[in-house]
């Protein structure tokens, strides 16, 4: 009986030795790997650990900051590895499944190599003066992460739903340009939704399709892509031109540009705030030369600028100079302006989609 008791106390001593050793002199128990694994089990926590030695070029403050960053990086890598492993497994498991299409369509927007936002994580440090080392320990409770990403998932899905609903209302009111803008606002949120779903699937073994709101996500994505296809059939362009033909104000370039762009499905509006693109044209005609046969060579010098109202920036800008000849000065000038219009369309049509 005494042998059994002695074995029991020996086992208890071995178990408590790390605590007794590291619990003295304010040394945190998490420095010991065995104690750390008992107090912060992998089933409940993601953790990160680091040790940095203080040197002549690295004082205690710098070493502490480096140790904290390294421990947090270690923690993030563990979360990333879980998500990455889950994505690979999920991609295999959904083959021939109805979710495969939506997964493949926008999962490419999600990069698991980006820094994971480890919400609720904590970092503790300890300076060992005797060994001149700084220890750091980062940890986060998996259930806290699950709660955050469930909330994050719902917030982003609700935002997408709101954008799509507003786009539908605008489309019904024939405000196509504004409807398209709402859909553009919604698109980046799908990558956040996908990432939250990946995180939850990786850390919550009990997460169901309903918890991940997969059906709702797919429905919203389908609505968005269908609306984009409908709205893309009519791109709205606002054209502003300043054209001078030997002192006369004309719209030769603008009219020809509109005619050619209309063949590509573009429509034209009278107000710039209704447009997808704002096209600004400036053209001036001059006599370049005249030969002995009486042919007058005219040049149309122009500048063009294409502004994307969604991106809110100029996407194309250039200068043009086209020439044409005729016995009539005005006719030669008009032909040069028409050639300028054709060149403008060639340059901008790939931008207008």
CA 210, 91, 107, 222 dihedral sign is: negative
- Six-digit token pair at 53? 């030695």
Which CATH number covers residue 307?
3.40.50.10610
Instruction: Tell whether 253 and 213 lie within a shared domain.
Output: no
Claim: this prediction has a pTM higher than 0.75 = no
Weakest mean pLDDT among 149-153, 244-248, 281-285, 287-291: 287-291
The gap between the terminal CA atoms of the chain, to the nearest Å, is: 87
Query: Residues 186-243: pLDDT tens digits?
Result: 999 999 898 888 888 888 878 888 889 999 999 999 999 999 888 876 688 999 999 9
Give residue 20's domain range: 2-92+121-141
pLDDT surpassing 50 at residue 245: yes
In three-state secondary structure terms, 140 is strand
CA dist 216 and 264 (Å) reads: 35
pLDDT given at position 15: 55
Q: 3-class DSSP state for residue 244?
A: strand
Residue 103 lies in a domain: no
How many structural domains are present in the chain?
3
Whether 340 and 326 share a structural domain: yes
What is the structure's pLDDT at 26?
A: 80
Is residue 114 a part of any domain in this protein?
no
262 lies in the same domain as 320:
yes
137 plus 7 within the same structural domain: yes
Q: Which residue has the tokens 């031109």?
A: 241
Residue at a domain's end among 201, 231, 261: 231
**Rounded CA gap, 286 and 99, in Å?**
63
Residue 321 in domain: yes
Residue 108 lies in a domain: no
Pairing of strands 45-53, 122-128: unpaired
Residues 6-45: tens digit of each pLDDT: 555 555 555 555 545 444 458 899 999 999 999 999 889 9
CA neighbor of 302 nearest in space, from 277, 285, 289, 288: 285
Q: Are residues 281 and 326 in the same domain?
A: yes
Average pLDDT for 162-174: 90
Of 231, 258, 274, the one marking the end of a domain is: 231
Considering the domain boundaries, does residue 110 fall inside one?
no
Is residue 170 included in any domain, yes or no? yes
Tell me: pLDDT of 267 over 90. no
Q: What's the pLDDT at 91?
A: 46
Last residue of a domain, one of 214, 231, 248: 231
- 261 and 298 in a single domain? The answer is yes
Distance CA 155, CA 201 (A): 18
If asked whether residues 137 and 15 sit together in one domain, one would say yes
Residues 160 and 131 in one domain: no
Residues 39 and 126 in one domain: yes
Distance CA 90, CA 108 (A): 14
Residue at 137 is within a domain? yes
Q: What is the pLDDT of residue 65?
A: 93
**Is position 217 within any domain?**
yes
Question: Token pair of 190, please?
Answer: 């799908």
Give the mean pLDDT of 92-113: 41
Q: How far apart are CA 186 and CA 179, in angstroms?
A: 11
Tell me, yes or no, whether 211 and 281 share the same domain: no
For 238-257, what is the mean pLDDT? 94
Asked whether residue 265 falls in the same domain as residue 201, the answer is no
Q: Do 216 and 251 fall within a single domain?
A: no
């Amino acid at each position: 009986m005494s042998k059994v008791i002695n074995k029991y106390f020996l086992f208890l001593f071995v178990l408590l030795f790390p605590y007794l050793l590291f619990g003295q002199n304010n040394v945190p128990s998490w420095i010991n790997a065995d104690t750390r694994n008992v107090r912060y089990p992998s089933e409940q926590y993601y953790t990160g650990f680091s040790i940095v030695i203080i040197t002549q070029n690295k004082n205690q403050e710098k070493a502490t900051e480096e140790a904290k960053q390294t421990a947090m990086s270690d923690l993030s890598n563990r979360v990333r590895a879980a998500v990455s492993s889950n994505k690979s497994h999920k991609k295999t498991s959904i083959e021939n499944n109805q979710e495969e299409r939506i997964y493949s369509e926008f999962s490419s927007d999600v990069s698991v190599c980006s820094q994971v936002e480890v919400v609720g994580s904590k970092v503790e440090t300890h300076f060992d003066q005797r060994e001149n080392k700084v220890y750091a320990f980062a940890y986060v409770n998996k259930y806290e992460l699950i709660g955050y990403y469930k909330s994050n998932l719902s917030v982003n899905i609700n935002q997408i739903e709101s954008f799509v609903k507003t786009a539908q209302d605008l489309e019904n009111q024939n405000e196509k340009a504004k409807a398209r803008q709402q859909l553009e606002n919604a698109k980046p949120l799908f990558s956040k939704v996908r990432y939250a779903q990946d995180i939850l699937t990786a850390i919550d073994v009990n997460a169901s399709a309903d918890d991940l709101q997969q059906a709702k996500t797919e429905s919203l994505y389908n609505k968005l892509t269908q609306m984009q296809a409908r709205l893309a059939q009519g791109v709205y362009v606002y054209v502003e031109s300043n054209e001078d033909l030997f002192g006369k104000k004309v719209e030769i370039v603008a009219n020809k540009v509109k005619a050619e762009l209309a063949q590509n499905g573009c429509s034209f509006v009278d107000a710039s705030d209704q447009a997808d693109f704002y096209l600004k044209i400036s053209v001036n005609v001059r006599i370049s030369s005249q030969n002995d046969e009486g042919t007058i060579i005219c040049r149309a010098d122009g500048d063009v600028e294409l502004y994307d109202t969604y991106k809110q920036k100029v996407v194309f800008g250039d200068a043009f100079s086209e020439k044409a000849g005729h016995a009539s000065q005005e006719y030669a000038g008009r032909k040069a302006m028409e050639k300028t219009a054709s060149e403008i369309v060639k340059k901008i049509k790939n931008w207008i989609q």
